[in-house]
Amino acid sequence: MNDFSRTQQYIQFFTEVLKLNKLTNAPTEQHRIYYNQINLFLSHHALLSAAQVIDLLSTPSKPFTEQDLKKLVDTNKAFFVTAPNFAGYEGYPAFQFDIYKRRVKPILEPIIGQVSKYYFDWDIVLWLGSYFGDLNGSAIEAIDDPKQHSLLIQLAKNLDNEYL
C-alpha cells in the first residue's frame, strides 16, 4: 500500500468513522500514529458487535438483552469503541469477556471506572494496551493474571495524579 492510499484510509477513518473532521483540515502526524495504533490493536485483538456480545453473554436459562448490555456500559463494567470494521458502530474489545463463564471479567469495572474519567473510545483501549514496566506487559495481559490485579487497579488510579 502506498503512502497516499494509507493517508486516504486514515482521513476516512477520522472524518467518517470517528467524526473528527472539525478538529483539523488535514491529518497530522499524531492522527497517523493514532490510526496505526488502532490498526495494530485490531491485528492482534478481536472486536465483537453488540449482537455477538449479547449472544456470548446469553445462557439458555438467562437471555441477555440490549438493555443488559447498555447497563454494563453505563456502569463501567464493559466498554465499546467506535469500530472501523462495523462502519462506525460500537465494537466491544473481546479481551474484556470471559467466554467460558459467559461474563465480563470482573477486574474491568474498577479499571474502566477510573480510566474512563480521563479517556474515551480508543484512548481507553490504547491505554490498556500500553506497556507498563510495573506489570512487565500491558494491562490487557494483566487482566487475566489475578496476581497483577491490585497493581493494575493502582496504575489506573495513578491517572488521578497525572491529570491534577
Task: State the Cα–Cα distance between residues 108 and 149, nearest whole angstrom.
Answer: 10
Residue 25 contacts by C-beta under 8 Å, 6 or more apart in sequence? none
pTM: predicted TM-score of the whole model, two decimal places = 0.80
Task: State the Cα–Cα distance between residues 41 and 57, nearest whole angstrom.
Answer: 23
The full set of domain ranges for the chain reads 1-44, 45-162
18-68 pLDDT, tens per residue? 555 545 555 567 777 888 888 899 999 999 999 999 999 999 999 999 999
* E strand or H helix at 8: helix 3-12
